[in-house]
C-alpha cells in the first residue's frame, strides 16, 4: 500500500493504542456516514507486532489503588470481554494476594470496585485467605497472607495475538495501516503551531488531526513538538519541585517455565487465574537456601499461559538510570542485548513460585533460558498522560500501564472527534503543575 498524500486522522504507531484508536475512529465515522478511503491512516515504522504490546506479559486487571485508574481499567476490561475472541482474551480471573502492609489499601480498592460495579471478592484474615487459596490450589503454601482480592472479569491475553487482533479489527473497520513507514518529522505551516503534515521515510502525508501512539518511542515526538523536557510538580504544601525529567525508562524482568500450561487446573477444573503476590515475608532461594528478600516488600506474578506454552510471569521492574535521551530503545524488547532480565531474576522468580505452591519446589530446572522482557517509558508520576497539544496533536503516553488499556482508543477517538472524556480528564499534562496527582499505594510495583 502506498502512502496517500493526505488523510484526515493520521496515527503514528501500530501498537494497542494506535490500532484501538484507529478501530474506534473508523466505527464512529462510519456511524456518522463520514468514513472515506483515507479518513484514518496508521503509520508503523516496522511491522505491527514489534513494539511494547507484543512483548507484554498480557495481564488485564482492574486492581489499582488510584480511583481514576480503576475507572479507566473498568472501561477497558469491558472492551476486552466484549471482543474476547478477536483479541485473544481469556477471562480466567486475577488474584491480588497480599501481606498485612497492603491490607488497608486493598480493602479500599475492593470497596471502590463495588461502587463502580466491578465484580470481585475480598477475603480477609490469614486463615480465611489460606482456606480460600487451598480450595482453589490445594498445594498453596504462601505464608503471611492476610488479604486476597479476586477479580472475576480480569485475565490475560496473547501479546502478539492481541496486537494482530487489533490490526484486523482496525482494518476491517476501514483503517489503512501502512507498515515500514517511519514518521521522521512533523511539519507546521502558515505560522500556526498545528501540525499540517508528517514527513516519513516514504514521503510526506498531510493530515487534519495527528495522534501520536508511539509507545516507548514517544519522547522523539515530544522533542519535535518542543514540549518541556522537565516538569515542575506542585506539592501538597503549595511548594513546587522543579526539574523533574518528563521521561524515564523502566526495565521489566519476565521469564517462563517450560511446562505444559494445559496441565495446570484449579481444584474446580478451571484454568488458573493470574496470580500476583505482594508481601514482606522472607523469600529464600529454592536453589541455594540464601535469603533473597528480608524485611522488605517484594512482589511477583505468574500464570499458566496457553499462548506461550508455559508458565509466564515477572517481578517488579528496575529503573534504567541513564537519562531518557541516552537510552537506546532499538533494537527493542527481546531483540535488545542491553535490557534483559538480570542474572538474579531466574532465582527470584522460581523461588517465589515455590514459596507459593509446593509443586514448584525445584522448578528452576524448568526455567527457559531465553530473551524476555522489555523497557517501558514512564512519566514523572508514572501514570499515563493523555492530552492534546498544538491544536491538533493528541499524544497517548500510557506510562507502561497499557496492554490492559484496550479501551483508551475508544476514549481518545471521542476526544479527537470533539467529545471530552471524563474518564481521561485526570490524566492531563497540566496535573503536574496543578498538583492534581494520583494517590500512591504501598505496592512494590510502580504501576499499582
List residues near ligand FAD by CB under 6 A: 12-18, 43-46, 50-53, 55-59, 182-183, 213-217, 252, 254, 373-374, 376, 398, 400-404
Closest contact distance (angstroms) between CB of 302 and ligand FAD is 12
Closest contact distance (angstroms) between CB of 205 and ligand FAD is 11
Closest contact distance (angstroms) between CB of 317 and ligand FAD is 8
Which residues make beta-bridge pairs with 267?
A: none
Instruction: Give whichever of 58 and 446 is closer to ligand FAD, judged by the CB atom.
Output: 58
Closest contact distance (angstroms) between CB of 446 and ligand FAD is 12
Instruction: Give whichever of 98 and 312 is closer to ligand FAD, judged by the CB atom.
Output: 312
Could you give the CA distance from residue 292 to residue 273 in angstroms, rounded to a whole number?
Answer: 26
Instruction: Give whichever of 199 and 258 is closer to ligand FAD, judged by the CB atom.
Output: 199
Instruction: Give whichever of 130 and 398 is closer to ligand FAD, judged by the CB atom.
Output: 398
Instruction: Give whichever of 67 and 144 is closer to ligand FAD, judged by the CB atom.
Output: 67
Given a contact cutoff of 8 angstroms between Cβ atoms, the answer to whether 324 and 248 are in contact is yes
Instruction: Give whichever of 54 and 113 is closer to ligand FAD, judged by the CB atom.
Output: 54
- Who contacts 224 (Cβ-Cβ below 8 Å, separation ≥6)? 185, 186
Closest contact distance (angstroms) between CB of 128 and ligand FAD is 28
Instruction: Give whichever of 45 and 75 is closer to ligand FAD, judged by the CB atom.
Output: 45
Query: Which residue has cell 492481541?
Result: 162
Closest contact distance (angstroms) between CB of 129 and ligand FAD is 24
User: What's the length of the chain?
Assistant: 448
Closest contact distance (angstroms) between CB of 78 and ligand FAD is 15
Instruction: Give whichever of 133 and 399 is closer to ligand FAD, judged by the CB atom.
Output: 399
Closest contact distance (angstroms) between CB of 75 and ligand FAD is 14
- Residue 419: CB atoms within 10 A of its CB come to 10
Could you give the CA distance from residue 117 to residue 183 in angstroms, rounded to a whole number?
Answer: 41
Q: Which three cell numbers stand for residue 429?
A: 499534562
Closest contact distance (angstroms) between CB of 234 and ligand FAD is 26
Could you give the CA distance from residue 15 to residue 206 in angstroms, rounded to a whole number?
Answer: 22
Radius of gyration of the chain measured on its C-alpha atoms: 22
Closest contact distance (angstroms) between CB of 385 and ligand FAD is 12
Instruction: Give whichever of 14 and 261 is closer to ligand FAD, judged by the CB atom.
Output: 14
Closest contact distance (angstroms) between CB of 85 and ligand FAD is 19
Instruction: Give whichever of 19 and 102 is closer to ligand FAD, judged by the CB atom.
Output: 19
Distance in Å from the first CA to the final CA of the chain: 41
Instruction: Give whichever of 110 and 403 is closer to ligand FAD, judged by the CB atom.
Output: 403
Amino acid at each position: 500500500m502506498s502512502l496517500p498524500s493526505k488523510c484526515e486522522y493520521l496515527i503514528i504507531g501500530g501498537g494497542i493504542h494506535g490500532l484501538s484508536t484507529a478501530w474506534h475512529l473508523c466505527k464512529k465515522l462510519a456511524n456518522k456516514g463520514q468514513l472515506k478511503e483515507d479518513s484514518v491512516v496508521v503509520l508503523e515504522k516496522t511491522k505491527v507486532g514489534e513494539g511494547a504490546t507484543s512483548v507484554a506479559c498480557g495481564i488485564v486487571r482492574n486492581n489499582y489503588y488510584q480511583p481514576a485508574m480503576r475507572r479507566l481499567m473498568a472501561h477497558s476490561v469491558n472492551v476486552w470481554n466484549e471482543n474476547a475472541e478477536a483479541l485473544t482474551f481469556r477471562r480466567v480471573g486475577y488474584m491480588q494476594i497480599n501481606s498485612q502492609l497492603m491490607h488497608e489499601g486493598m480493602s479500599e480498592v475492593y470497596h471502590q470496585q463495588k461502587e463502580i460495579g466491578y465484580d470481585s471478592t475480598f477475603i480477609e484474615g490469614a486463615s480465611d485467605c489460606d482456606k480460600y487459596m487451598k480450595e482453589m490450589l490445594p498445594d498453596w503454601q504462601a505464608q503471611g497472607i492476610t488479604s486476597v482480592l479476586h477479580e472475576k472479569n480480569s485475565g490475560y491475553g496473547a501479546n502478539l495475538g492481541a496486537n494482530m487482533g487489533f490490526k484486523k479489527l482496525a482494518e476491517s473497520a476501514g483503517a489503512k495501516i501502512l507498515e515500514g513507514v517511519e514518521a521522521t518529522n512533523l511539519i507546521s505551516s502558515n505560522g500556526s503551531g498545528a501540525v499540517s503534515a508528517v514527513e516519513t521515510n516514504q514521503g510526506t502525508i498531510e493530515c487534519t488531526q495527528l495522534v501520536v501512539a508511539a509507545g516507548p518511542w514517544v519522547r522523539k515526538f515530544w522533542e519535535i513538538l518542543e514540549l518541556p523536557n522537565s516538569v515542575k510538580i506542585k506539592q501538597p504544601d503549595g511548594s513546587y519541585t522543579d526539574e523533574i525529567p518528563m521521561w524515564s525508562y523502566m526495565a521489566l524482568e519476565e521469564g517462563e517455565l517450560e511446562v505444559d500450561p494445559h496441565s495446570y487446573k484449579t481444584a474446580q477444573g478451571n484454568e488458573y487465574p493470574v496470580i500476583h503476590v505482594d508481601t514482606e515475608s522472607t523469600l529464600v532461594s529454592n536453589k541455594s537456601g540464601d535469603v533473597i528478600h528480608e524485611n522488605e516488600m517484594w512482589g511477583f506474578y505468574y500464570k499458566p499461559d496457553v499462548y506461550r506454552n508455559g508458565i509466564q510471569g515477572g517481578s517488579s521492574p528496575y529503573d534504567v538510570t541513564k537519562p531518557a535521551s541516552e537510552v537506546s530503545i532499538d533494537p527493542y524488547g527481546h531483540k535488545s542485548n542491553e535490557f534483559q532480565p538480570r542474572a538474579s531474576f531466574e532465582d527470584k522468580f522460581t523461588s517465589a513460585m515455590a514459596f507459593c505452591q509446593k509443586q514448584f519446589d525445584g522448578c528452576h530446572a524448568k526455567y527457559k533460558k531465553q530473551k524476555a522482557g522489555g523497557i517501558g517509558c514512564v512519566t514523572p508520576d508514572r501514570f499515563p498522560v493523555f492530552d492534546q497539544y498544538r491544536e491538533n496533536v493528541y499524544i497517548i503516553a500510557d506510562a507502561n500501564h497499557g496492554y490492559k488499556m484496550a479501551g483508551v482508543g475508544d476514549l481518545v477517538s471521542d476526544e479527537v472527534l470533539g467529545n471530552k472524556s471524563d474518564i481521561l480528564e485526570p490524566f492531563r499534562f497540566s496535573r503536574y503543575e496543578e498538583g492534581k496527582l494520583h494517590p500512591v499505594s504501598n505496592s512494590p510495583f510502580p504501576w499499582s
